[in-house]
A and B are shown apart, each in its own frame.
Chain A
Amino acid sequence: MALRGNLRDFTITQLLNLINLASKTGTLVIDGVSEQAHVSFREGKLAYARIGKEDGNLASVLYKSNKINANQYKAIIERAGQMSDKELGLLLINAGYVSREDILLNLQAYFTDQLRRLFTWVEGIFRFENEMLPPDDRINVRLDLENIIIEGSRQLRELEQLQDEIPTLDMALKFTERPLTNVNLSVDEWKVVKFVDPKNTMRQIGKTNKLSEVEIRRIVYGLLQAGLVELVRPADAPLPQSVRPLAPQEIEDKKTLVNKLIGRIRSL
């Protein structure tokens, strides 16, 4: 079944969030206004990315990051044209030009930059291809998405959209079961995280930290997108008059009523 839509309705960070939480494997293909992007994932982690004609081969990535010089780059293109990135990587490591870490770190940085470019895309049709994996001759990385998601969420500025995402500040936050490790948070984000507790509403957290409604919404939105927190009703929130606590006999009466409803619906 389809995982497809339009970037106008579903932002890149929301897509990354979904891929991350669902631990998806496959390739996100985005037809932008003037370019096409392919971003591949394995079990919810970034494996590979390319936009447009820039295919991100290992030689060009290492050259752009000054790990090899212009002459070396030229020689590789001339002599190792048919070689896969994996073979080329081994050759460069064995020749002592670069280390394995150099290769992985530079590819990670390159793929992350490609994703950052996508944050500016607001128009485009996307689809997720479960069967499509990165080309065999490319080196894949394995990069957690949380930090990229938080970074992308920081760019969401429109108040209207933030209000859609978080309609009321009178709800509280609690941590999800995902561990809060290796996540790069800003000072303001840490200030909010410090007060994450079902007893504190977002409004209270914002007030305590002297954050405006837009600021607290933006920070919470990023934490939600990264799957680090979830919205809950405040632990000590007053119940509406119509939802007063029931006495034991009333609970029994209500159970009888619900069982009657169940019987009736079954018989429809």
Chain B
Amino acid sequence: MQTVKMVVTGPFSAGKTQFIQSVSEIDVVATERRISSEEERSVKNATTVAMDFGRITVDEDLVLYLFGTPGQKRFDFMWEILSEGMLGFIVMVDSTRPETFREARSILETFRAYAPTPFVVAANKQDMDDAWELEDMGHALRLDKHTKLLPCVATDKDSVKTVLLELLYSILSEMEGK
């Protein structure tokens, strides 16, 4: 049995767990804990402290695992461990919370430094009225013109599928360039 993995990363409360949940064939194995900080609790009640874990079986010989990283910086020691051997990664960003863009940039640069692995950026909550436009987000996140910035709604399975497919197309096209 061969297993491959993709990592879903991004700031606190960007929608990583929901993203994985939308396509995983098993209930996401979440390592969530109640949030102690008052400020963070105003956003949500529980957060991922080690990793989320979802699974998509391709056939009897191949399984894709989706790993969600914890969003808070104090758990960043997990990031390098989770990134080892990944096929590619997705950076989730909440389009309605510009206060998290700086952290998203930082996470993106940190993951890029680990390995030259293909990645895409998913702009979550694009269905909300107060979502930033993709073009503005691209500049705010300092993405170059080759980086795919994709609209996403993490609760919508089709939207999540599109993001995963775009990452796989990037991986394929990188291999075809070799």
For the complex, give the distance between the alpha carbons of A262 and B102 in Å. 32
Given the known inter-chain contacts A9-B99, A261-B58, A262-B165, please indicate yes or no for A21 contacting B139, CB distance below 8 A.
Answer: yes
**A243–chain B nearest beta-carbon distance, Å:** 5
Interface hit among B13-21, B35-43, B45-53, B168-176: B168-176
Instruction: Say yes or no: B106 contacts A5, CB within 8 Å.
Output: no
For A167, give its contact among B4, B110, B142 (CB under 8 Å): B110
Residues of the B chain whose Cβ atoms lie less than 8 Å from the Cβ of A6: 98-99
Chain B contacts with A in 8-30, Cβ cutoff 8 A? 23
Query: Count the A residues whose beta carbon is within 8 Å of the partner chain — how many?
Result: 46
Chain B, interface residues (CB within 8 Å), range: 35 or more
**A-B pairs with CB below 8 Å: how many?**
124
Chain A 69-86, CB-CB to B under 8 Å as 1, else 0, gives 000000000000000000
Chain B 100-113, CB-CB to A under 8 Å as 1, else 0, gives 11110110011011
Instruction: Say yes or no: A251 contacts B168, CB within 8 Å.
Output: no
For the complex, give the distance between the alpha carbons of A240 and B112 in Å. 12
Chain B residue at minimal CB-CB distance from A3? B136
Chain B residue at minimal CB-CB distance from A21? B139
Chain A 222-243, CB-CB to B under 8 Å as 1, else 0, gives 0010000011010000011011
Residues of the A chain whose Cβ atoms lie less than 8 Å from the Cβ of B82: none
Chain B CB count within 10 A is highest, among A230, A243, A257, A261, for A261
Chain A contacts with B in 198-253, Cβ cutoff 8 A? 224, 230-231, 233, 239-240, 242-243, 246, 251
Residues of the B chain whose Cβ atoms lie less than 8 Å from the Cβ of A230: 142, 144
B156 on interface, CB distance cutoff 8 Å: no
For A265, give its contact among B56, B144, B175 (CB under 8 Å): B56
Given the known inter-chain contacts A255-B175, A257-B4, please indicate yes or no for A3 contacting B132, CB distance below 8 A.
Answer: yes
Instruction: Say yes or no: A262 contacts B136, CB within 8 Å.
Output: no
Residues of the A chain whose Cβ atoms lie less than 8 Å from the Cβ of B132: 1-3
For the complex, give the distance between the alpha carbons of A14 and B98 in Å. 12
Instruction: Say yes or no: B133 contacts A1, CB within 8 Å.
Output: yes
Chain B 135-161, CB-CB to A under 8 Å as 1, else 0, gives 110011010100000000000010001
For B175, give its contact among A22, A176, A251, A261 (CB under 8 Å): A251
Instruction: Say yes or no: B116 contacts A243, CB within 8 Å.
Output: yes
Closest CB pairs A-B (n = 6): A9-B99, A5-B98, A264-B58, A18-B139, A242-B85, A21-B139
Subset of 22 A-B contacts with CB under 8 Å:
A3-B132, A4-B130, A17-B139, A168-B113, A171-B109, A171-B113, A239-B115, A240-B84, A242-B84, A243-B117, A246-B178, A255-B175, A255-B176, A257-B2, A257-B62, A259-B172, A261-B4, A262-B172, A264-B59, A265-B168, A266-B161, A268-B157
A: which residues have CB within 8 A of B? 1-6, 8-10, 14, 17-18, 21-22, 161, 164-168, 170-171, 176, 224, 230-231, 233, 239-240, 242-243, 246, 251, 254-255, 257-266, 268
Contacts A239-B115, A268-B23 given; 17 further ones with Cβ under 8 A? A1-B129, A1-B130, A1-B131, A5-B98, A8-B99, A18-B136, A22-B135, A167-B113, A168-B110, A230-B144, A233-B113, A251-B175, A258-B175, A261-B168, A262-B169, A265-B164, A268-B161
